[in-house]
């Protein structure tokens, strides 16, 4: 058999099989309609997961008690509380092993969960809930935090600790962004630049919580 014969259609097929498949468009988990890159999510409390949905299906699950309360829509709130700043002593009390982490209240586990970005994805840190309660006591963000759907996203830099209340899918977006550019032990310069840009956009978007006057 000649070299020319080896380079026939079969070889081309093997070459295509070795090449990575193009990414498939995401689809709504309920109606299977194709979704744009930017789309909405629901929190699946039973599976402890996020579900991609189209606007119509997201609207259905905004009704109280829909699907027995299993799915909850994300609020879309971005909040900051300049009046409650965390200091270095507070960060040490929290015992977070890295510079960036997020926490949320998981109703399935009935406790707070702390996760942080890593080259393998979101990793869970050991949590002293009593320490969290002490550090966050008096914070309007902790009072506002909705279970399963919102998280407190924190980042420690030189002389500064930022804390934002965000939809929980924003935290997983950050984890995915860092995973794509992670190099070395601590992520490297590219990951730090991604963090700078991400938190810069949060600072521009976040607002102070509204003060509600109740009778």
Tens-place pLDDT, residues 26-78: 899 999 999 988 889 999 988 888 999 999 998 888 776 667 778 888 888 99
Going by pLDDT thresholds of 50, 70 and 90, the confidence category of residue 87 is confident
* Spatial CA neighbour of 82 closest among 163, 171, 202: 163
The b-or-e profile of 74-111 (16+ CB within 10 A means b, else e) is beebbbbbeeeebeeeeeebbebeebbbbbbbeeeeee
pLDDT at residue 59 in the model = 87
155 pLDDT exceeds 80?
A: yes
Instruction: Examine residue 26 and state whether it is found in any structural domain, yes or no.
Output: no
Q: Kindly compute the dihedral angle of the four CA atoms of residues 80, 86, 87, 89, in this order, to the nearest 10 degrees.
A: -160
Tens-place pLDDT, residues 170-189: 999 999 999 999 988 888 99
The count of domains in the chain is 2
pLDDT at residue 159 in the model = 77
pLDDT at residue 75 in the model = 83
Tens-place pLDDT, residues 98-141: 899 999 999 888 889 999 999 988 999 887 888 888 888 778 89
Q: Are residues 116 and 55 in the same domain?
A: no
User: Is residue 96 within 8 Å of residue 114, measured between CB atoms?
Assistant: yes
* Spatial CA neighbour of 127 closest among 151, 101, 88: 101
pLDDT at residue 215 in the model = 40
User: Is residue 123 within 8 Å of residue 116, measured between CB atoms?
Assistant: yes
Domain boundary among 29, 56, 73: 73
pLDDT at residue 181 in the model = 92
pLDDT at residue 5 in the model = 40
Q: Are residues 63 and 153 in the same domain?
A: no
pLDDT at residue 4 in the model = 42
Instruction: Examine residue 33 and state whether it is found in any structural domain, yes or no.
Output: no
Q: What residues pair up with 66 in beta bridges, in sequence order? A: none
Looking at per-residue pLDDT, the higher value among 142 and 14 belongs to: 142
Q: Give the 3-state secondary structure of residue 69.
A: helix
Q: Are residues 111 and 139 in the same domain?
A: yes
Joined together, the tokens standing for residue 164 give 């934002």
Could you tell me the residue range of the domain that residue 120 belongs to? 79-205
Q: Are residues 192 and 123 in the same domain?
A: yes
Q: How far apart, in Å, do the first and last CA atoms of the chain sit?
A: 90
Q: Are residues 101 and 169 in the same domain?
A: yes
Tens-place pLDDT, residues 57-71: 988 887 766 677 788
Q: Are residues 141 and 59 in the same domain?
A: no
Q: Give the 3-state secondary structure of residue 149.
A: coil
pLDDT at residue 12 in the model = 55
| Residue 129 main-chain phi, psi, to 5 deg | -65, -35
């Amino acid at each position: 058999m000649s070299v020319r014969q080896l380079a026939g259609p079969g070889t081309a097929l093997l070459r295509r099989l070795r090449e990575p498949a193009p990414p498939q468009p995401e689809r709504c988990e309920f109606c299977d309609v194709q979704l744009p890159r930017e789309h909405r999510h629901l929190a699946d409390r039973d599976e402890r997961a996020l579900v991609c949905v189209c606007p119509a299906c997201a609207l259905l699950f905004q009704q109280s008690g829909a699907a027995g309360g299993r799915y909850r829509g994300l609020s879309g709130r971005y909040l900051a509380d300049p009046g409650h700043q965390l200091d270095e002593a507070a960060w040490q009390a929290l015992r977070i092993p890295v510079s960036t982490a997020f926490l949320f209240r998981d109703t399935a586990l009935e406790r707070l969960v702390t996760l942080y970005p890593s080259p393998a994805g979101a990793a869970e840190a050991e949590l002293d809930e009593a320490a969290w309660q002490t550090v966050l006591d008096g914070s309007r963000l902790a009072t506002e935090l909705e279970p399963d759907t919102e998280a407190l996203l924190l980042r420690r830099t030189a002389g500064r600790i930022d804390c934002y209340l965000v939809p929980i899918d924003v935290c997983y977006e950050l984890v995915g962004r860092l995973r794509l550019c992670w190099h070395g032990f601590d992520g490297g310069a590219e990951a730090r630049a991604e963090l700078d840009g991400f938190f810069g956009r949060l600072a521009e978007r976040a607002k102070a919580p509204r003060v509600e006057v109740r009778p």
